[in-house]
Amino acid sequence: MLTDAEVMSLVSSCKILNYKLEAVLETPERGVAIRREMLSLKLPVSSALVCLPYKGYDYSKVMGACCENVIGYMPVPVGVAGPLLLDNQQFHVPMATTEGCLVASTNRGCRAISLSGGCNSKILADSMTRGPVVRLPSACRAAEVKIWLDTSDGFSMVKEAFDETSRFARLEKLLVCVAGRNLYIRFQSQTGDAMGMNMLSKGTEQALRRLKQHFPDMEVVSVSGNYCTDKKPAAINWILGRGKSAVCEATIPGQVVKEVLKSSTAALVDLNISKNLVGSAMAGSIGGFNAHSANIVAAIYIACGQDPAQTVGSSSCITQMEAAGPDGEDLYISCTMPSIELGTVGGGTNLPPQQACLQVSPVLLHLMSFTSMLGVTSPNQPGENARQLARVVCATVLAGELSLMAALAAGHLVKSHMTHNSLLETALLMCDVTFVLLSVL
- Interface with a copy of itself in residues 171-190 (CB under 8 A): 175, 177-182, 184
Q: Is 412 in the site for a copy of itself (CB under 8 A)?
A: yes
Contact segment (CB under 8 A) with a copy of itself among 155-163, 258-266, 379-387, 425-433 equals: 425-433
Contact segment (CB under 8 A) with a copy of itself among 8-16, 252-260, 272-280, 377-385 equals: 272-280
| Residue 128: its H or E element | strand 120-130
**Going residue by residue from 379 to 408, which x/- string records binding to a copy of itself, judged by CB under 8 A?**
-----------------------------x
CA distance 189 to 167: 12
- If the CB atoms of residues 157 and 304 are measured against a copy of itself, the closer one turns out to be 304
For residue 366, indicate whether it is catalytic.
no
With CB under 8 A, what is the number of residues at the site for a copy of itself? Answer: 176
Q: Is 290 in the site for a copy of itself (CB under 8 A)?
A: yes
Handedness of CA 173, 179, 180, 184 (dihedral sign): negative
Q: Which of residues 52-91 bind a copy of itself (CB under 8 A)?
A: 52-53, 56-57, 59, 62, 64-81, 83, 90
- Integer angstrom CA distances of residue 419 from 74, 101, 262, 425, 433: 39, 21, 19, 8, 21
DSSP string, 156-224: HHHHHHHHTT-SS-EEEEEEEEEETTEEEEEEEEE-TTB--HHHHHHHHHHHHHHHHHHSTT-EEEES-
Please select the residue that binds a copy of itself; options are 115, 163, 224, 379, rule is CB under 8 A.
224
Q: Is 41 in the site for a copy of itself (CB under 8 A)?
A: no
* Collapsed DSSP state (helix, strand, coil) of residue 29: helix
For residue 341, indicate whether it is catalytic.
no
For residue 307, indicate whether it is catalytic.
yes
Contact segment (CB under 8 A) with a copy of itself among 119-127, 153-161, 258-266, 376-384 equals: 119-127
Q: Which of residues 146-175 bind a copy of itself (CB under 8 A)?
A: 146-147, 175
CB-based contacts of 117, cutoff 8 Å, min separation 6: 85, 251
CB atoms within 10 A of CB 258: 14
Q: Which of residues 98-117 bind a copy of itself (CB under 8 A)?
A: 98-104, 107
CA distance 18 to 410: 55
